[in-house]
Structure 1
Amino acid sequence: MTDPQMGKRAPLQFGLDLDYRDPSSVGNVKNIWEKNRHHHLTILALAYALTGNKQYAEAVEEQLLSWVEQNPFPIGVNWTSSLEFGVRLISWVWIERLLRGTSSHKHLFGEGGALWSMIYWHQWLITQHYSHGSSANNHLIGEMAGLFIAASVWPVFPESAQWQSLARKILEREVSQQTFPCGLNREQAFSYQIFALEFFLLAGLEAEWLKAPFSDNYQDWVRRMLEVIPLVVDVGGNLPQYGDGDDGMALQLRPLGSSRLHWLFRLGRQWLNAHVPLPSNNSGVLAATVIGSNAEDKVGEVKPVQGSIGFNDPGLFVLASRRGESDEVLCLADAGLLGYLSIAAHGHADALSFTLNVGGVPIIVDPGTYVYHADPQKRAYFRSTKAHNTVVVDGVDQSEPAGTFLWTRQAQAKVLSWQETPDGGVLVAEHDGYTRLPNQVIHRRRLALEGKRLEIIDELLSVAPGLNQGGVHDFQWRLHFSPLCQVTLKENFCQVSWQGGSLGIYLDNQLEWILAHGEQEAGWYSRGFNLKEATYTLSGSARTTTPMSLKNYLDLSDED
């Protein structure tokens, strides 16, 4: 298997001994794994099911037979990750369903079919090497969903009932363990909210068809995961971006460019009576119809989201004015934990950061993820404090990184007050990430949205005030803009414009302000995994003593 981006061919050696994290050996392993999840083959199988054109079925057969030949058990990079086994099993289940009645189905899944040995070993390896301990995050969910679905659909092996029971037990446990009571995912990475939800929903539907449903408690947690999503999505349907995101999917049966949410909303309404909006213009109908819950949608019209809302358990707060209107202002602020479990694998050092969407357009953004193993320097930047809309002290991260998916000392954020107001909201919070520095520093931030004005007050405080000065520190205040924006800076005023709107930022004159664009540690945005583009970062710097107070505000009333 060759990574086309880096030109590296992964060695054919015992898979579990292969270090897939080493780009010098395997290249960018995500490039290899994504194609080997066989999402493209579920689309080809769906094309056959919709058209009856056997060329699509034959293309699936040809590629799967080639895959079996090139990936002998247990050799190579496709035998290294239990999550990949789980996702691939789900793809194969749907390929098998969609190709029924064809000679290709007989060759692949009939008696003596080419895939049965692979299907067995995928399930067996999951049971032997599923994620545990500090790594039992979304990977464990995907592994168990794949195992449950495969063992349920194909109960043909002596261990099938045992495998199904194990997977059901773990999924029942993890749905609450990895989800906050409000419904948001504990990894503090919204991309994994959707990824985990897909697995839980697909496994739950399989159990319904077996007439052996998951518990009411399981279904309630999945419903919560669905119903929280509209509360954090802007009027344009843009999903929040915070923490890691690698665009992973549990199953691909959607048209190119279609909504990631709408098929989930349709299935959630039908299966769980989830109170989520019914998508318009038949969006999501194809995947929802193919998967099908065989239940009538009785939910009816769901009232639109109104105003600001706070989620105390994950520490996420939505400050909004004109919610749901064409001129909506939506600020999403983070005052929560770094991430899930002891290593917080998919969290970013983004305490007290925020994003701002105006009229359904992202303006002030979280720069995203871009990459995992393939570029350690860029991996470090994109999850750093410098890459977020907050304050950097002495050039270091709020939390201490110790590896690609590992944080050691983690900043603890604390909400001091939260108030929803008729035209916005006020959040006051602080974090202790910089108390590890000499002359310990607390960062406290007040975000106040009132209509078209967002005020940001930052205080850099000494832990032990009154004992002379708190010491000299380098402070840096950062904002990152969407590539959709044109940004200019003149002295202490920053003008931001985009198609259909503009805002002005009035900047504290205690700092020296600059605009960066495409530099080493500023001016980058990633709209999806493996993608990056230059954009503007506004940065204000000062070397001074604590305590220090900064006041900046954004005004959407300003015109070009």
Structure 2
Amino acid sequence: MKDADLSLSDRLSTIIHFIDNYKDRQVEQSSYTTALRTRNWIAFCIESQISDPKVTAFLFRELDRLSHFPEYEIGGNHLLESGISLVWGGIYFKNSRMLQIGKKIVTRELRRQILPDGSHYERSVGYHTFIQKNIFDLLLFYKHVLAEDVFYKILKDKFLQSLSYLKLLSGSDVLLPQFSDSNPEMNYWSNEMTSLAQDLFDNEIGSGVPVEEPIAIKVFDRSRFRLFFFRGEILAKDQPGHAHADAFTFCLHVNGLPCIVDPGVSTYDPGSSRSAQRSTAMHNTVFVPGYNSADVWSGFRVGRRPSVIALNESFNTIDYKHDGYFKLFKFQHRRTVVCETDEIIIGDELEGVSVCDGAYTGLHFHPDAQVTLLENEILVRACNMRIIVEGGSAELSSYDYCIGFHKTVSSQKIRIKFNRNKIKLIIRFSDG
């Protein structure tokens, strides 16, 4: 609908063709795809000033069906999208029943899903930006057509909260940290949208700054680097489908550029690739090959989850442990991160055992990083960085870094085998 290379008549013909063949399209009849499609079609009809009786009748039938079957069985962002689209439909068709159902869903789900720190509770940066964009689009539509009522205020407050969180993560970096189900292609928020938001809410940008520290991510912000530590607790108890077995993973950006990264996701299809991308071994944390710190299975399922304990946290230090491997290997993973001005020290300990044969810690590098492995030292030329390894044996190999869905590029990774039960990584920077 937004393809500028197609004429309006061609785009309208595409919609008509879809309607004519709708009975054969089982996937497109789900509540989630219905919610996204109807909202996009309404926006297209308004922007293009198109009023086609066949399209209008089909849109109303679809939204009426959605109003009877919002996606309660999945919940999470799927249910929120049902509510957002019903508000769009209620306004477009001047249908109070549809509008009230949508408002009720959106109000309840925003209060539940946008956490006090401004983050989305599924902990995916990709879905955070997707939901933030959809809230913003609804804000613009609602403000243009209806009065600034209580519902509008809820939308605005939650939007400002989520924007404050995103600004904390992004800073001046060129790429967001891609935790959980995310990849660079899933950043739906743009600089243009930030500028528009600042024009609309000039005096209120910053009023949504959360009073709490980020719940899922600890950000160490230094002049030379930014380190993002992922605490690892699965917060969406009812909807963990986008979670990974990634307790205590981290991302490191140097001079605004990604260096140590989360590999991301390239598929949602259940199978070996999806399982591998959600596994502990595909993150920058301690792992035992073939076993995960959380029981991720199928495409969007999680069974057993690790219990996370915060031991110490301050401006330059974080000290946490989890029991994700205790049942099978009788150790708890304890990770300590100390960030000074020009040095990072990461300590991993397998508490409870003196040695665990087969335990590793992993590091995944951005495709532009240029990594060289010496005997006990890792050189990262693009970041002017070296990593000294103590207590382990490192090996260099490759992995597939996800740049989008069904799009990967080869990159480098390091895995470090524990000699006994402790590994220390000392990361230092130079000026070139």
TM-score, structure 1 normalization: 0.72
Provide the C-alpha distance between the structure 2 equivalents of 1:358 and 1:557, rounded to a whole number of angstroms. Answer: 11
Supply the distance in 2 between the matched residues of 1:366 and 1:99 (Cα, whole angstroms): 40
Alignment of 1:42 with 2:2, yes or no, is yes
CA change 1:142–1:384 in 2 (3 A) is same
Change (3 A) 1:170 1:87: same
Partner of residue 333, structure 2 = 443
Give the Cα separation in 1 of the matches to 2:375 and 2:131.
46
- Paired residue type of 2:297: A
Alpha-carbon shift at residue 57 of structure 1 (Å): 1.6
Letter in 2 for 1:319: F
Seen in structure 2, the aligned counterparts of structure 1 residues 274 and 459 have a Cα distance that, compared at 3 Å, is farther
3-state DSSP class of the match of 1:224? helix
What letter corresponds to residue 125 of structure 1 in structure 2?
Answer: R
Q: Indicate the residue corresponding to 1:79 in structure 2.
A: 28
Shift of the 193–239 alpha-carbon distance from structure 1 to 2, 3 Å rule, reads same
Give structure 2 stretches of 5+ with no counterpart: none
Which whole-Å CA distance do the structure 2 matches of 1:185 and 1:87 have between them?
19
Could you report, residue by residue, the CA deviation over 1:195-225 in whole angstroms, capped at 9, with x for unpaired residues?
A: 1112222223333221253153443222111
Cα offset, 1:443, TM superposition? 0.7
What is the CA-CA distance between 1:246 and the residue it aligns to? Answer: 6.6
| 2:182 aligned to which of 245, 265, 270 | 245
How big is the shift at 1:192? 0.8
Does the CA contact (< 8 Å) of 2:325 and 2:332 recur in 1?
Answer: yes
Contact kept, 8 Å, 2:174 with 2:257, in 1: the verdict is no
Work out whether residues 188 and 314 of structure 1, in 8 Å CA contact, stay in contact via their aligned partners in 2: no
Deviation at 1:191, TM superposition (A): 0.6
What residue in structure 2 maps to residue 429 of structure 1? 320
For 1:177 and 1:82, the matched residues in 2 are separated by 20
- Counterpart residue number, 2:8: 57
Change in CA separation of 1:414 and 1:247 when aligned onto 2, cut-off 3 Å:
same
Alpha carbons of structure 1 residues 125 and 246: separation in structure 2 relative to 1, 3 Å: farther
- Counterpart in the other structure of 1:227: 164
Q: What amino acid is aligned across from residue 504 of structure 1 in structure 2?
A: R
Is 1:205 aligned to residue 140 of structure 2?
Answer: yes
* RMSD (CA atoms): 2.7
Q: Hey, what does 2:63 align to over in structure 1?
A: 123
Give yes or no for contact 2:124–2:179 (8 Å, CA) kept in 1: yes
The match for 2:297 is: 402
Structure 1: tracts of 5 or more residues without a match: 1-40, 48-54, 250-257, 278-298, 300-304, 323-327, 463-468, 518-522
Q: Decide whether the 8 Å contact of 1:316 with 1:334 is kept in 2.
A: yes
| 1:532 counterpart letter in structure 2 | T
- Tell me, what secondary structure is at the counterpart of 1:433? coil
- The reply to whether residue 180 of structure 1 matches residue 115 of structure 2 is yes
Kindly tell me: are residues 386 and 344 of structure 1, through their superposed partners in 2, closer, same or farther at Cα, counting changes over 3 Å?
same
Q: Is 1:247–1:529's contact at 8 Å kept on the other side of the alignment?
A: no
Q: Which residue of 2 aligns with 1:536?
A: 412
Give the match for residue 511 of structure 1. 392
Of the candidates 172, 189, 195, which is equivalent to residue 130 of structure 2? 195
Query: Is the 1:338–1:412 Cα contact (8 Å) retained in structure 2?
Result: no
AA matched with 1:437: L
Identify which of 335, 342, 345 aligns with 1:452. 342
Q: Quote how far apart the aligned CAs of 1:460 are.
A: 0.8
**1:276 CA displacement:** 4.8
Tell me, what secondary structure is at the counterpart of 1:59?
helix
Q: Paired residue for 2:92?
A: 153
Question: How high is the TM-score relative to the length of structure 2?
Answer: 0.92
**1:485 & 1:150 partners in 2: Cα distance?**
47
Closer, same or farther in 2 for the Cα pair 1:410/1:312, shift >3 Å? farther
Could you tell me which amino acid in structure 2 is paired with residue 529 of structure 1? F
Distance 1:275 1:207, change over 3 A: closer
Aligned with 1:476 (options 354, 360, 367): 360
- Give the drift of 1:448: 1.1
1:89-112 deviation per Cα after TM superposition (whole angstroms, max 9, x unaligned): 121112111222xxxx2xxx24xx
* Closer/same/farther in 2, CA of residues 310 and 507 from structure 1, 3 Å limit: farther
Q: Distance in 2 between matches of 1:57 and 1:403?
A: 41
- Work out the CA distance in 2 between the residues paired with 1:315 and 1:58: 47
Which residue number corresponds to residue 345 of structure 1? 241
- How far the C-alpha of 1:144 sits from its partner, in A, is 1.2
Q: Distance in 1 between matches of 2:154 and 2:86?
A: 21
CA contact (8 A) 2:347 2:423 kept: yes
Q: Tell me the CA shift for residue 338 of structure 1.
A: 2.2
State the identity %: 22
Q: Distance in 2 between matches of 1:455 and 1:310?
A: 28
For 2:78, give the aligned amino acid.
H
- Who wins on radius of gyration, i.e. which is larger? 1
1:503–1:556: 8 Å Cα contact kept in structure 2?
yes
Question: Residue 141 of structure 1 aligns to a residue in which SS?
Answer: helix
**Judging changes above 3 Å, is the alpha-carbon distance between structure 1 residues 343 and 96 closer, same or farther for their aligned structure 2 residues?**
closer
8 Å contact 1:268–1:274 — kept in the other structure? no
Distance 1:152 1:354 in 2: 43
Q: Against the structure 1 CA distance between its residues 472 and 366, is the aligned structure 2 distance closer, same or farther, given a 3 Å change threshold?
A: closer
Post-superposition offset of 1:366: 0.2
Match of 2:429 in 1: 556
- Shift in Å at residue 556 of structure 1? 1.0
